[in-house]
Amino acid sequence: IIEGAKGETLQKLKEESLNKIVSEATTAINNTRTVIELLQKGKIEEALNLLQKIETTLEQLEKQYKVSRIPVDITLVEYDGVEDINIAKKYAEKIKTDIQNNNFVDARFYLSLLRDEIDVTTTYMPLYMYTNAIKLALDYLKNGKVQSALLVLQSALGILEVEITIVPKPLIEASILIDYASQLY
């Protein structure tokens, strides 16, 4: 019982830490966008103060958690494929014909109709690179190079990494049915 309680407590602490990391990293990205807006409006002092807060936050994340990248956004997109096998066969034949005729645009369209999956898109902040970009922008801003700071900040937002995981829905459905059958058995 004690071991189980320890495990639950540790898991809860890990989840709370992860939520805190993700929240702070997301705030840093949103604040970076705000800094860009402030610089474009000529509010340099406000931008400088906010940029210093971002730098402090990112340095604390690096020291405290020692992670290389942090998930900052997750989106799920579900695609429902054709359920009628006869229609699916017709589409497959159409796709083969289109490919043989080098009509890849139409083939791609019909292929997308056959998709039966869930796409999980996760955006990550590469912490070390992002922190260095913020520091560089801060140095530029302290030296009065507003345009250079703007370019660095815009580039920092461009270094976010995107990872797409495709999960076939039939596999998920089969797994659920196996679990259900196991419970019934």
Question: How many whole angstroms separate alpha carbon 87 and alpha carbon 185?
Answer: 36
- Considering only residues 13 and 97, tell me which one the structure prediction assigns the higher pLDDT: 97
Contact 123, 159 (CB under 8 A): no
Band (63; pLDDT cuts 50, 70, 90): confident
Environment class of residue 93 by beta-carbon count within 10 Å: exposed (0-12), middle (13-18) or buried (19+)? exposed
Average pLDDT over residues 112-118: 89
pLDDT the model gives residue 13 = 44
Question: How many whole angstroms separate alpha carbon 24 and alpha carbon 21?
Answer: 5
Q: Is the pLDDT of residue 3 over 70?
A: no
**Cα–Cα separations (whole angstroms), residue 153 to 38, 78, 103, 109:** 12, 33, 42, 38
Band (18; pLDDT cuts 50, 70, 90): low
Average pLDDT over residues 139-165: 92
- Considering only residues 21 and 110, tell me which one the structure prediction assigns the higher pLDDT: 110
Helix spans in the chain (H):
2-40, 44-65, 85-100, 104-113, 127-142, 146-158, 169-184
Environment class of residue 99 by beta-carbon count within 10 Å: exposed (0-12), middle (13-18) or buried (19+)? middle
What pTM did the predictor assign?
0.67
